[in-house]
Amino acid sequence: MHVVSFREALNQAMDEEMARDERVLLMGEEVAQYNGAYKVSQGLFAKWGPRRIIDTPIAEEGFAGIGIGAAMAGLRPIVEFMTWNFSLVAYDQIANHAAKMLSMSGGHFSVPMVFRGPGGAARNLGATHSQALESIYAHIPGLKVVMPSNPYDGKGLLKSAIRDDNPIVFIESEMMYGDKGEIPEGEYTVPIGVGNVIQEGADVTIVSWSKVLQRFTIPAVQQLKEEGISVELIDPRTIKPMDRDLIVNSVRKTNRLVVVEEGWPFAGVGAQIAFEVQHRAFDDLDAPIARVTQEDVPLPYASNLERASLPSVDKIVKAVHSVLYRG
């Protein structure tokens, strides 16, 4: 095992898959000569050249469409958005073409490609640059949505996504790019659709993912442990397809569920998880399901208001106390 940053893990995944399969290419804004806006593609242009590491204009709809056409023609593009907020400019291409092409062509044209880049809030970027859009893309049939929370999963899931024959929405976080973690030497992948039990517990199940898991949920779990509360912590890793059996079986053991996410509350991923659990494990629940989300407002720019709007350790602890009928 060796320790790498999240950005290095993603870089290794793309580099290794380019060496493995000559059909793999990367395209996006500043991915080549500038080595990526967040240096995720550091060194790839020097190694693979301009035919496989391609700088694009600031025209997300255009280069997303080019990537879809390239995938239909037999290549395996990775399209990087500088931020998933900018993907909204290309939403028609992703939702109406990448997601639907296999079905609408009667199975004649698959779209094996990855759309990737950072999503969610960073620090003081304002409402239009801070959106957690995973529920929007998970809503679309034909798309898979992947959200790793650490370097190990980041590398393994990105390699699986590149090899997948479907269009993949791969959402990272710019606040996680410097996070360090252990990854094994040599080849490995993490399967899409398989969640991870980070910690086993007996009192309550918490489901959380990506940046919120690392920044808020894990510290909250540690605080709850000091209070004598045993938490089973689950990282689904893949939003769609989701490892629903893993979550339901955990709730059948703990009898309580708290879902923590960065997205908005209305029609969020947590709402879908709550439905799955009450539908399949209603009789096992000893308390109503609790959700911790971003507030239902455009994210403010001011630091104090931004913090107040997002999930926090205190909000998570309070939610766990509520399902345990404490306080």
Tokens representing 258 are 């708290």
pLDDT of residue 327: 73
Q: How far apart, in whole angstroms, are the C-alpha atoms of residue 25 and residue 112?
A: 12
Chunked mean pLDDT (size 10), the chain, 327 residues: 96 98 98 96 98 97 98 98 97 98 97 98 94 97 98 98 98 96 95 98 98 98 98 98 98 98 97 97 98 97 96 98 94
| Cα–Cα distance, 219 to 223 (Å, whole number) | 6
DSSP code per residue over 191-245? -TT--EEEE--SSEEEEE-HHHIIIIIHHHHHHHHHTT--EEEEE-SEEES--HH
Give the closest residue to 53 by CA, choosing from 71, 73, 34, 74: 34
User: What is the pTM (predicted TM-score) of this model?
Assistant: 0.96
Tokens (6 digits) for 284: 């096992």
Please give the structure tokens belonging to residue 90.
């290309």
Cα–Cα distance for residue pair 50/26, rounded to 1 Å:
10
> How much is the pLDDT for 9?
98
In words, the CATH class of domain 2-183 is alpha beta
Q: Are 186 and 134 in contact (CB under 8 A)?
A: no
SS (H, E, C) 92-161: HHHHHHHCCHHHHCCCCCCCCCEEEEECCCCCCCCHHHCCCCHHHHHCCCCCEEECCCCHHHHHHHHHHH
Q: What is the pLDDT of residue 306?
A: 96
Label residue 74 exposed, middle or buried (CB < 10 Å: 0-12, 13-18, 19+).
Answer: exposed
Residue 260 CA to residue 255 CA, distance in Å, equals 17
Give the count of beta carbons closer than 10 Å to the beta carbon of residue 241.
14
- Which sequence spans correspond to the domains of the chain? 2-183, 196-323
Verify whether residue 321 is a known catalytic residue.
no
Catalytic one among 8, 17, 29, 60?
A: 60
The whole-number pLDDT of residue 139 equals 97
What tokens were used for 8? 């290095």
Q: Is residue 22 flagged as an active site residue? A: no
Residues 236/247, Cβ–Cβ less than 8 Å: yes
Nearest to 9 by CA among 191, 236, 213, 183: 183
What integer pLDDT is reported at residue 1 of this predicted model? 83
* 292 class by beta-carbon count within 10 Å (0-12 exposed, 13-18 middle, 19+ buried): buried
Among 307, 311, 309, 308, which residue's Cα sits nearest to residue 298?
309
Q: What helix, strand, coil percent values describe the chain, rounded to 5?
A: 40, 20, 40
Please state, as a whole number, how many other Cβ atoms lie within 10 Å of the Cβ of residue 11.
22
- What are the CA-CA distances from residue 1 to residues 44, 90, 221 (Å)? 23, 39, 26
Same fold, 2-183 and 196-323: yes
Which CATH entry fits the domain spanning 196-323: 3.40.50.2300, 3.30.230.70, 1.20.1440.130, 3.40.50.920? 3.40.50.920
Question: Among 129, 276, 295, 321, which one carries the catalytic annotation?
Answer: 129
Q: Are strands 290-292 and 231-235 parallel, antiparallel or unpaired?
A: unpaired
CB 206 within 8 A of CB 233: yes
